[in-house]
Amino acid sequence: MIVYDRLWRMMEQKGITAYRLREECNIDRKTVRRLKANENIETKTLDRICKALSCRVEDIMEYIEE
């Protein structure tokens, strides 16, 4: 299972809100809800998030065996 707990921790450390993430990454509320629920999202969305946060994909998500 892919989880995005690292994303939320990084955003908190950088003082970035979900609203600001949506605006800077041009993603909609539905996608933010999917991230919070650890559901599938498109790789282009991951790319936008990494660019906005100046990070690598492994900094915002991780695989956890179920």
18: domain range?
Answer: 2-63
- The per-residue pLDDT for 15 is 93
User: Which CATH number goes with the domain that contains 37?
Assistant: 1.10.260.40
* Count of domains observed in the chain: 1
Q: Is 7 exposed, middle or buried (0-12, 13-18, 19+ CB in 10 A)?
A: buried
Write out pLDDT tens, residues 6-59: 999 999 999 999 999 999 889 999 999 999 999 999 999 999 999 999 999 999
- The per-residue pLDDT for 25 is 87
SS (H, E, C) the chain: CEECHHHHHHHHHHCCCHHHHHHHHCCCHHHHHHHHCCCCCCHHHHHHHHHHHCCCHHHCCEECCC
- The per-residue pLDDT for 66 is 82
Q: Considering the entire predicted model, what is its pTM?
A: 0.90
- Measured from the Cβ of residue 45, the count of other Cβ atoms closer than 10 Å reads 17
- The per-residue pLDDT for 9 is 96
